Structure 1
């Protein structure tokens, strides 16, 4: 009977040892795979160029960031809205644009046949170049010019935006003028038709030389900007080969959306490291089941903290001495814990 019990206990011990070895090797393989992908990502980032700070909407200017590229997203804040002082038109927008058109003669040639028609055109047309200028003379220069007005300051998140970045904001919306806010001289000249001001006495039948003025603004919408940090401002990096030195996209776009060529960072790095440690500690606990250190959780934790960091540290030695030293320091601390537990058990158990 005793022989059967001994055989059964021996079989269970060997089974636990085999399971422990499998778990331990699994933990070591997991940490090796994890650190390998982290190192591959670092190498790919080095090939891509300088790393990009992914600050999102909460990032703030801080020391050590100067010159770095970053992704910042959020809703632009207009701190000093643009205004057209001549017509007293204002918009809560990064940019306000005044468009001026004049009712003029246009020369149209189709299939060798030339004819003339009156239409709204946003630039002076020189009728002297017409095939038949007689009877189709245009007034000449516009008395009022189109202009662009920019906000005094625009912020995205906690960063100011440089003028080139603001000017690259996409989209346009119509801005209706308030005819009651026009200066007296312009109120006597213009009348509002829809979202425009016209000098026509009969807007449905404009005459040669009549003016039509309208305004557009850049809509305030969620934006993502990739640019260089210059103090508390996002600016363009040195441009080359047609590259403006920054990127502007509508919406909250991820770093991979903005830079699709950038390698994707590995996921759950810390979770995988913790999983490798747990597997190694459980494996050690099972391997020690037939020794006087059986069921000693602290010893298993110490050994798990030895073997996993030792493998990771050895992998990092050739590429990053600082990271390797941190891993090896953890291994030394784990070894200290394991040795302490061995000494404790030896002192409390008889020979």
Structure 2
């Protein structure tokens, strides 16, 4: 063999080895990226279907969904006692009473009147005389939820409605008060008060206000059950859902879940082709006849074997699919070698 032929053969073998390694590496990186994403997502309830592919009519059993969009309120909450209704997911009534409270600063105790949202028992004061509070509230605080809240075509489970973030003040309308309350309450800014003079409240006066979760754009991560999104009760993270204000990408909702590789099918095909090209160059470097089918079988067998090992113990179906490709590649390669020999 001439020196030139020897150098040429060595060059072909070196190039073939590099392409073979490139194909094997690309295949391994692709499957490892998918595997890391899958394992991390499972901690939060399962594989994730992003908003663009999620709809209540799709088969999403056992998966998690990220959906973003404006909240749609079908049956707004209503505070019937005060005649107040708002087109929001959640309406909260807050009741305060003007009461004595004890202030202790470095052992120095003094008393002052202030608005407090719960009854204060004056018998616990260091000096109760002259600071007695009225006792239980005649009107209680309350929370009212919409009969149906949707986002992106999905209904929200009550647990997700209660988890909706954000707050805004809802101004009362004194004209809507029932007659029995209109005689006692008047409007003072964003409050209804029983004070004869709102600027000079007296002991026992009541102040009622309302806050609401706004009908805003949110991103919801949860498990679909038909057309309803609900927390994944079996999620290893112990939560199984997330709700954030605004349109958030999956990496914002689940920052500990790595982004899966893009163009997975193309990357897999390219990995096999690179490995096949490397195998072909190795065959040529050994002065064997160029056999494209043998080279393709060798490349597919190598990439399939690596992928099958990576998915072993994580996804039986995917592992068997890659193992089948590896076995098929090995069988075809053995057949081509026997035929050539």
TM-score of the pair, normalised by structure 2: 0.75
Higher normalized contact order (CA 8 Å, seq sep 6+, divided by chain length): 2
Residue 88 of structure 2, aligned match among 93, 96, 101: 93
Residue 28 of structure 2, aligned match among 23, 36, 42: 36
**Pairs within 5 Å for 1:160-239:** 160-238=155-233
Answer yes or no: is 1:56 the counterpart of 2:55: no
**Pairs within 5 Å for 1:2-41:** 24-41=16-33
Taking a change above 3 Å as real, the CA distance of residues 312 and 19 of structure 1, as seen in their structure-2 partners, is: same
Partner of 1:344 in structure 2?
A: none
Cα contact 2:49–2:63 (8 A) shared by 1? no
Pairwise CA distance, 1:120: 0.9
Taking a change above 3 Å as real, the CA distance of residues 321 and 274 of structure 1, as seen in their structure-2 partners, is: closer
Worse-superposed segment, 183-192 or 23-32: 23-32
Length, aligned pairs only: 324
Cα contact 2:42–2:235 (8 A) shared by 1? no
Cα contact 1:27–1:276 (8 A) shared by 2? no
RMSD: 4.2
Aligned mates of 1:35, 1:316 — CA distance in 2:
7
Aligned mates of 2:153, 2:9 — CA distance in 1:
57
Q: Which has the larger radius of gyration?
A: 1
Aligned mates of 1:152, 1:240 — CA distance in 2:
27
Q: Which structure 1 segments of 5+ residues have no match?
A: 1-10, 339-351
Answer yes or no: is 1:117 the counterpart of 2:112: yes
TM-score of the pair, normalised by structure 1: 0.73
Please state whether the residue corresponding to 1:192 is helix, strand or coil.
strand
Residue 260 of structure 2, aligned match among 258, 265, 269: 265
Taking a change above 3 Å as real, the CA distance of residues 241 and 304 of structure 1, as seen in their structure-2 partners, is: closer
Pairwise CA distance, 1:213: 0.7
- 1:115-160 Cα offsets, whole Å, 9 max, x none, are 2221111112222333333332222221211100011112232332
Worse-superposed segment, 40-49 or 121-130: 40-49
Worse-superposed segment, 232-241 or 158-167: 232-241
Partner of 1:321 in structure 2?
A: 320
